[in-house]
Amino acid sequence: MAKVKKAPRPKAQTPKGFRDYFGTEVTERADMLKTIAEVYHQYGFDALESSGVETVEALGKFLPDVDRPNEGVFAWQDEDDAWMALRYDLTAPLARVYAQYRNDLPLPYRRYAMGPVWRNEKPGPGRYRQFYQCDADTVGSANVAADAEICAMLSDTLERVGIPRGDYLVRVNNRKVLNGVLETMGLSDDAQRDAVLRTIDKFDKVGEAGVRELLGKGRLDASGAYIDGVGLSVDQAEPVVAFLTSKSSDVAKTFANLRDAIGASTIGAEGVGELEKIGDLLAVQGYNADRIEIDPSVVRGLGYYTGPVFEAELTFEILDEKGRKRQFGSVAGGGRYDDLVKRFTGQAVPATGVSIGVDRLLAALREKGRIGGTVQGPVVVTVMDKDRMADYQTMVAELRNAGIRAEVYLGNPKNFGNQLKYADKRESPIAVIEGGDEHANGMVQIKDLILGAKIAENATLEEWKERPSQYEVPRDQLVAKVREILDLNP
C-alpha cells in the first residue's frame, strides 16, 4: 500500500499586505480613537457602526484601484449568487445606511464612524491592505457652514490628539472653482477633461513648469521616459496654471486671482463665493490662516468631490528611508460629495465629511516622540508553592480591586528565575513573592523591577543606591506598598 503523504504544515506568516498589531500599538490606537470620538461627540455627531461587508452593488463605482481584481475590493459570491465585498472606506456604507433608514433619521444626519477598511491594492512600504479610518459626515445639509464646521472639527481633533498649532495646516479648495476653470477653457471632450484633471493631480509632484508641459506636448519624467501631453495650446492651458498658482499670502488677493482664472463662469463664481463664506465662518470662530487656509493647490480627490474639499497636512520635517528631510504630509482629507446617496434614492442628497488616516496619524505622533515606547506591564504575583494557588489568587484579586493591573504567574513554577524573566518580558514594574517562610510569618516580599533594572544599568547613581529595590512588608500592607512603588515609577 502506498504511503499516504502528510499534508504540508501551513506557513506561519502574515498574508501579503497585512500586519499584526501588539500591545502598545493596540493601546495607542484605542486611546487615539477615544480622543477623536470625544471631539466628534462634542460637536454633536452620533456614533454609527455599520457592517464591515457590503454588496458590491452598494459600494458603487468609487473604487480605489481599478487595475486590481474586483476593481480594488476583496469580493466573493454568496450562495444566492450576490456579490459581497469588504468595505473599502466608511463613506460608501454611510450612503447605503442613510438611504435605507432616511425616514427614521434626523435631517441633517450627523454621524461619526471608526474601524478597519480593506483594499485589494498592491501593497508597498507603509501601505497595507487593511487599515483604520475615522470619519465624520453631515448628510442632508447644503449649507457651507457644514463644510466649515468639518474643517474646524478637524483642526480641533489634530490638536487634541497631540499635534500642536504650527505643526499642521488644514487646506481648503473647491471643485466648483475647477469646474469653472474647465468651462473657461472650452473643453467639450470628456476624455480631454479627464486628462486635464489627471494632470492637475500631478501639480504637487511636477510643479508649474511640469503641468505646463503635460498640458501641452508632454515632458520627460525622472526616468527619462517621455510622457505624452494633453495637447492644449498655451492659451488653453493658462486658466489651469492660473488656478493652481492663485494662492497669495493675502487671502483677498487669492480670491481675486481665482476670479481671474474662472473668467465669466457661473459655477466657478459660485465656488469662489463658497470659499469666501467658509473663510468668514472660520475666522469668526478664531480659526485663522495659521490653522486653516484657503489653498487652490489642493487638488487630490477633486474627481470625487462636488464642492469644497479639504486636506490636513502635517508640516514638520522627518527623515525618509534615505536620510533626506521631507514633510510628513497628509493625514486626513474630505469634502462635499452631493451625488453619492443619489445612487440609491434617485434624488440628490447633499453631504460633506472628513476621513482621518489613523495609522498615519499614529506614525506622525511617534515621529515627534509624543507617543511610543513601552506600556507598563502588570504586577506579577509569583508562585512559590503551587499548592497555595488560592493564596496567590487572593493577592491578585486585592490588587485588581484596588485598580492595579496584576496577574498570577501561570507557567511552570519550579524555576523561580524563569518567573522573573517572564516578569521582565512583560515589562512588569513589580514582582510579589511569598514563600513558605514569608507566609508563616505573615509577610510578603515586593521586588521593584524598574529600580532593579536601573541599578543594573548604572549602579553608581547615588539617587538609586539610597533606595532599596526589594521590600518585606506585612501581608495586609501588600496593596499599599505596591501603590507606593508604582507612584514612584509613573
Known binding-site residues equal 89-91, 119, 133, 137, 300, 304-305
Look-up: residue for cell 482621518? 356
Place of cell 539610597: 466
Q: Is the peptide bond between 378 and the residue preceding it cis, with omega within 30 degrees of 0? A: no
Q: How far is CA 347 from CA 31, 140, 146, 201, 341, in A?
A: 39, 11, 20, 30, 8
Site of grid cell 468595505: 87
Phi first, then psi: what are they for 18, rounded to 5°?
A: -120, 165
Query: From the annotation, which residues make up the binding site for L-histidine?
Result: 89-91, 119, 133, 137, 300, 304-305
Number of neighbours of residue 434 by Cβ within 10 angstroms: 23
Cβ contacts of residue 183 below 8 Å, gap of 6+? 262, 265, 267, 268
Q: Which of 70, 72, 116 is nearest to 93 (CA)?
A: 116
Phi-psi map region of 480: left, alpha, beta (phi>0 left; psi -120 to 50 alpha):
alpha
Cell reading at 90: 466608511
Query: 38 to each of 42, 47, 157, how far by Cα in Å?
Result: 6, 11, 9
455, 464 in Cβ contact below 8 A?
yes
Q: Which of 469, 461, 472, 465 is nearest to 488 (CA)?
A: 469
Closest-CA residue to 185 (of 263, 256, 271, 258): 263
Selection from 248, 243, 273, 236 nearest residue 261 by Cα: 243
Phi and psi of 345, rounded to 5°? -100, -20
C-alpha cell read off for 459? 549602579
Which helix H or strand E contains 36, and what residues bound it? helix 23-42
* Residue pair 286/267 in contact by the 8 Å Cβ criterion: no
Alpha-carbon distances of 127 from 119, 300, 330, 365, 407, rounded to whole Å: 10, 18, 14, 18, 37
Alpha carbon 465 to chain centroid distance?
45
Q: Are 148 and 294 in contact (CB under 8 A)?
A: no
| End-to-end Cα distance, the chain | 68
